[in-house]
Amino acid sequence: EISRTRPTLLLDCRRDPFINDLFSDIPDVVASVVVVPFKIGVDCTSYLYLDRLAEENGLNPFSQDELNFAVGFSDLMAFKWAEIQKNKLLEDNRRLKNQIMEKAAFPNIVTQNGKMLELLAQVRQVVNSSISISIEGETGSGKDLLAKAIHFNSNRREKRFISVNCAALPETLLESELFGYKRGAFTGADRDKPGLFEEADGGTFFLDEIAGISPFRADCVAACLGDAPNNFT
C-alpha cells in the first residue's frame, strides 16, 4: 500500500487498491512503482514518482536499492530547493531593506533645522562617492551619527562600518591599530594583524577626534586618505 508520508516501493501496483487515490491515470502496463514524499522540513509538498513497465511475464519490480537511491535523490532535491528559497528570501529582504533606506534617507536623524537640512542635502550628493569626507564639529555634536548615515545610505552599506576614537588611543598604539603589523615586529607580536584601514576596505572607516593626534601621525593618515576630503561642518 502506498503511504502518503513515507517512501513506498510497490512491487505490483495492479494489486494495490489505493494506487488510484494518489495517481488516477497510471497506465495498466505499469508493473512497479516507487513513490517518495518530497518534504521541506516536516511538510510534504509533493511526491517523487517513478514507474516501471511490465515485462512479458508481468514482473519487473524496483529493488530496495533503487528505492534507497530515490529517497536520497529526493532528500538532496529538497535540500537544494530549501536553499534556493532561503536565498530568495534573503535577497527579497535585502531589496526591501534597500528600498526602505532609500525612502527613509536618514531615519536616525530627525531635524527641522534649516542648516541641518541643508547639510543633509549636501550629504545626499556624496554618499556614493569614493572620496574622503571631513566632518567637523564639537565633541558630542553627532559627527558619528552623520558618518553612519552616510555609510548606511551609500552603496557600501553591506560592507563594514568601522569607527575609532583616535584621541582615546595612545600615540604608541595608534599606528599599529590603523595600519596593522607583521609577526615579530615587536615583543608580543606573535601573529600578523591587519590594520583597521584594511579591515574597512570596501566599507567606511570613521576616524573620530582625529584632531587629537600628533601632526606626524596626522600626516601619515592624510597620506592614506589620498584625495583632499570634502568638508561638512
User: Domain holding 147: CATH number?
Assistant: 3.40.50.300
Q: How many domains does the chain have?
A: 2
Q: Whole-angstrom Cα distance, residue 97 to residue 152?
A: 11
Q: Phi and psi of 111, rounded to 5°?
A: -155, 150
* Residue type, position 188, single letter: G
85, 92 Cβ separation under 8 angstroms:
no
Lowest mean pLDDT among 3-17, 21-35, 52-66: 21-35
Domain end: 87, 116, 132, which one? 87
pLDDT, tens only, 177-225 = 888 888 877 777 788 888 888 888 888 888 888 877 777 777 777 777 7
**Any idea which residue has 607580536 for its cell?**
189
DSSP letter, residue 42 = T
Residue 185 placed within a domain: yes
CA angle 186, 190, 196 (to 5 degrees): 80
Q: Domain span at residue 196?
A: 108-232
176 Cβ contact list (under 8 Å, min separation 6): 185, 193, 195
Claim to verify: residue 76 and residue 165 sit in the same structural domain: no
118 Cβ contact list (under 8 Å, min separation 6): none
Claim to verify: residue 228 and residue 123 sit in the same structural domain: yes
Claim to verify: residue 122 and residue 214 sit in the same structural domain: yes
Residue 92 placed within a domain: no
Q: Whole-angstrom Cα distance, residue 175 to residue 96?
A: 40
Claim to verify: residue 154 and residue 224 sit in the same structural domain: yes
Claim to verify: residue 131 and residue 220 sit in the same structural domain: yes
pTM given for the model:
0.47
pLDDT, tens only, 148-165 = 888 888 888 888 899 888
3-state secondary structure of 109: coil
Q: Whole-angstrom Cα distance, residue 2 to residue 12?
A: 11
Residue 14 placed within a domain: yes
> Whole-angstrom distance between the N-terminal and C-terminal Cα of the chain?
78
Most confident of the ranges 21-25, 115-119, 186-190, 215-219: 115-119
Claim to verify: residue 146 and residue 75 sit in the same structural domain: no
Q: Answer yes or no: is pLDDT of 21 > 50.
A: yes
